[in-house]
């Protein structure tokens, strides 16, 4: 029942019915004008009939237009039963939406966008980052109290809120015309449901799923061809472990089912980096030096460091891309010295 109520609240009047009623009203007004010859009188009668307040004509031979005018008035009156409430609802909705500063549901021209399901900390950040790149974003959130709703609404992004069935929410988000779907709620089952529903609506859509169970994420990745599943613990654990080892981890990159760490290391007394060149550092395996920052030029990262045979001096810093085992081998160099 709750889902049904949410669906009703989100349903908008059918534009076809409103257009038909408006066309009938205009036609009736034209008939009244044709037989009376006065635009002002025709508009007056049409508006009264539309509001259901017109007085019926008394039968008589002197009535202009005769049965045609009466028929037009009847049509306008019955159309008013549909037109006036619908028009009032649209105006009230527009005023309320503008007063609250809420964006509307995605329009019929929304295409090539990214659908973000879940507006927790991760979902809100993902929506903001994608929006910064200029790609349209449509968000879905079941919890009306989620803190991320206000953040994405401040960016002007459309948000679909409510406990309506996920399939209908995805269709309202126009997932069939989207370029990708990102499911990042805190519930593995809900994220997987969003992925499967999106695949059912549009099989070729690109899907990214946030999962907490790493084994489950690996199974989903191996089973569903166009779904990129990411385990939060798998991605975050290497960064925490490296930070505990004293490394200055700049970030992590997910490459298929592997994690690559980007770290900046300092050559100083007591470390195995001091006195080594980049060839020796990379020889440990699982490590690639991508930039060097010399102590004498601390503000300049040399991304294409030509002198790879130059040995590191005290205060020199290197930026490396390394696997977890590669960082562990660098730690062995630190412990063992040169």
Domain termination site, one of 176, 203, 231: 231
Domain termination site, one of 172, 197, 231: 231
Rounded-to-integer distance, Cα 323 and Cα 301, Å: 22
pLDDT at 1: 38
Residue 77 sits in the same domain as residue 140:
no
Residue 252 sits in the same domain as residue 200:
no
Residue 81 sits in the same domain as residue 133:
no
Rounded-to-integer distance, Cα 15 and Cα 25, Å: 15
Residue 136 sits in the same domain as residue 225:
yes
Residue 209 sits in the same domain as residue 271:
no
pLDDT at 157: 93
**Residue-level pLDDT, tens digit, the chain, 338 residues:** 334 434 433 444 445 666 777 777 777 777 777 777 677 767 767 776 666 666 655 455 555 556 777 677 777 776 767 777 777 777 776 666 554 545 557 877 889 999 999 999 999 999 999 999 999 999 999 998 898 999 999 999 999 998 888 899 999 999 999 999 999 998 888 999 999 999 999 989 999 998 887 777 777 877 877 777 777 777 777 667 666 655 677 877 777 667 788 888 888 887 778 888 888 888 878 899 998 888 887 777 788 776 778 888 888 888 989 888 888 788 677 544 44
CATH number of the domain where residue 268 is located = 3.30.70.1450
pLDDT at 125: 94
Cβ pair 231, 211 in contact under 8 A: yes
Residue 5 lies in a domain: no
pLDDT at 5: 39
pLDDT at 7: 40
Q: Give the pair of three-digit tokens for residue 245.
A: 């080892």
pLDDT at 114: 96
Whole-angstrom CA distances from 246 to 266, 327, 333 are: 11, 11, 14
Residue 185 sits in the same domain as residue 292:
no
Residue 223 sits in the same domain as residue 251:
no
**Helix-strand-coil percent breakdown of the chain, rounded to 5?**
50, 15, 35
Residue 63 lies in a domain: yes
Q: Give the pair of three-digit tokens for residue 230.
A: 């990411």
Residue 238 lies in a domain: no
CATH number of the domain where residue 37 is located = 1.10.287
Residue 138 sits in the same domain as residue 190:
yes
Tell me how many domains the chain contains: 3
Could you say which DSSP state residue 177 is in? G
Coil/strand/helix, residue 183: strand
Residue 124 sits in the same domain as residue 220:
yes
Mention every residue, 6+ apart, whose C-beta is less than 8 A from residue 266.
248, 273, 315, 316, 317
Residue 1 lies in a domain: no
Residue 236 lies in a domain: no
CATH number of the domain where residue 203 is located = 3.40.50.720
Residue 88 lies in a domain: yes
Residue 199 sits in the same domain as residue 264:
no
Q: Please provide residue 331's backbone torsions phi and psi, each rounded to the nearest 5 degrees.
A: -60, -35
pLDDT at 294: 86
Q: Which long-range contacts (CB under 8 A, 24 or more apart) does 13-22 make?
A: 13/86, 13/89, 13/90, 17/82, 17/86, 18/82, 18/83, 18/86, 18/87, 21/79, 21/82, 21/83, 21/86, 22/83
Residue 224 sits in the same domain as residue 249:
no
Q: Which domain holds residue 42?
A: 12-100
CA-CA-CA-CA torsion sign (81, 83, 84, 88): positive
Cβ pair 250, 296 in contact under 8 A: no
CA-CA-CA-CA torsion sign (234, 240, 241, 243): positive
Domain termination site, one of 198, 231, 264: 231
pLDDT at 127: 95
Cβ pair 148, 121 in contact under 8 A: yes
* Residue 140, strand partner residues: 117, 160
């Amino acid at each position: 029942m709750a889902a049904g109520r949410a669906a009703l609240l989100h349903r908008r009047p059918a534009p076809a019915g409103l257009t038909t009623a408006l066309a009938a009203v205009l036609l009736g007004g034209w008939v009244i004008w044709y037989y009376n010859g006065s635009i002002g009188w025709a508009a007056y009668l049409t508006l009264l009939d539309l509001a259901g307040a017109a007085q019926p004509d008394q039968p008589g031979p002197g009535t202009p237009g005769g049965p045609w005018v009466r028929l037009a008035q009847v049509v306008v009156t019955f159309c008013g039963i549909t037109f006036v409430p619908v028009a009032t609802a649209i105006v009230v909705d527009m005023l309320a939406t503008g007063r609250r500063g809420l964006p509307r549901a995605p329009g019929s021209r929304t295409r090539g966008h990214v659908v973000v399901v879940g507006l927790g900390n991760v979902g809100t950040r993902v929506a903001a980052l994608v929006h910064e790149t200029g790609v349209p974003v449509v968000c879905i959130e079941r919890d009306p109290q989620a803190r991320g709703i206000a953040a994405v609404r401040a960016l002007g992004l459309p948000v679909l809120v409510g406990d309506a069935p996920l399939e209908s929410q995805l269709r309202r988000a126009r997932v069939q015309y989207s370029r990708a779907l990102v499911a990042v709620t805190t519930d593995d089952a809900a994220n997987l449901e969003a992925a499967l529903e999106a695949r059912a609506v549009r099989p070729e859509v690109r899907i990214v799923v946030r999962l907490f169970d790493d084994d489950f994420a690996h199974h989903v990745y191996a089973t569903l061809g166009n779904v990129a599943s990411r385990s939060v613990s798998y991605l975050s654990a290497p960064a925490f472990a490296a930070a505990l080892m004293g490394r200055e981890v700049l970030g992590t990159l997910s490459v298929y089912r592997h994690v690559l760490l980007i770290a900046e290391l300092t050559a100083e007394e007591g470390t195995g980096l001091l006195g080594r060149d980049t060839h020796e550092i990379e020889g440990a395996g699982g490590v690639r030096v991508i930039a060097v920052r010399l102590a004498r030029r601390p503000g300049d990262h040399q991304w294409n460091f030509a002198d790879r045979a130059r040995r590191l001096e005290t205060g020199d810093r290197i930026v490396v891309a390394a696997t977890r085992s590669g960082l562990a081998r660098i730690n062995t160099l630190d412990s063992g010295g040169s």
